[in-house]
Amino acid sequence: MCTSHFGAIVRTTHVTGTVTDIGSTSGRIAMIFLRKGLRFSNLNVVERAEVAVDARKLLVLFPMWLFYLCGTILGAYLQTIFKIYALLLPAFLTLSVGLVYMFFRQQLKGYLKRVEQERLSKDLHDMQESMERTQAHLKAVRGNTNTQQQSGPDEGLVVELDEEVGNMLEAMHDVEANVMGMCQSPAGTSAEPVRARSANF
């Protein structure tokens, strides 16, 4: 059995699976860095994305394993003092966390939704700035090609890339509008209009 938290697949049946996941995820990060000479600046966009995803997984897996380890040590210590009544402490903690979650679930969901929306908006903004810089660079190259009166396959490629970047920017604006619409719409409303609009681009 397993579940997923913030992109990390967590094995809920045994802690050894968590240790295995920590080892394999750390190994993937180490392999990427070793291939690039242990320099973050040498990583390309895909490798940086892979490292970011794996780092987020480690931020879930490692604290979970650490709490498990601390719990076993504390449990063994409490058992020597309170004997069978040592189970009351984890039972009380579980009850308390469950009650807090039950009463504040909607606020927690709203907070996590806002955090994710802000992260997505920042990513979209960064992507938009990058594409606009690329488009400006392509226009400058196209202008230089026109002033030098050189026509050929390079000029056609620049024109084609410029148009493609423009199409991508339009599609990204549509996606951003749809995401904002989904985040602002009530939870009970249907998402069909959003899907219909996004299918048009």
> What is the number of helices (H) and of strands (E) in the chain?
5, 2
Angstrom distance (rounded) from CA 3 to CA 170: 37
Query: Which two structure tokens, joined as six digits, stand for 113?
Result: 């939704």
Q: Is the pLDDT of residue 186 over 60?
A: no
How high does pLDDT run on average in the chain?
77
pTM: 0.51
Confidence band, pLDDT 50/70/90 cuts, at residue 95: very high
User: What's the confidence (pLDDT) of residue 194?
Assistant: 42
Residue 2 CB neighbours (<10 A): 11
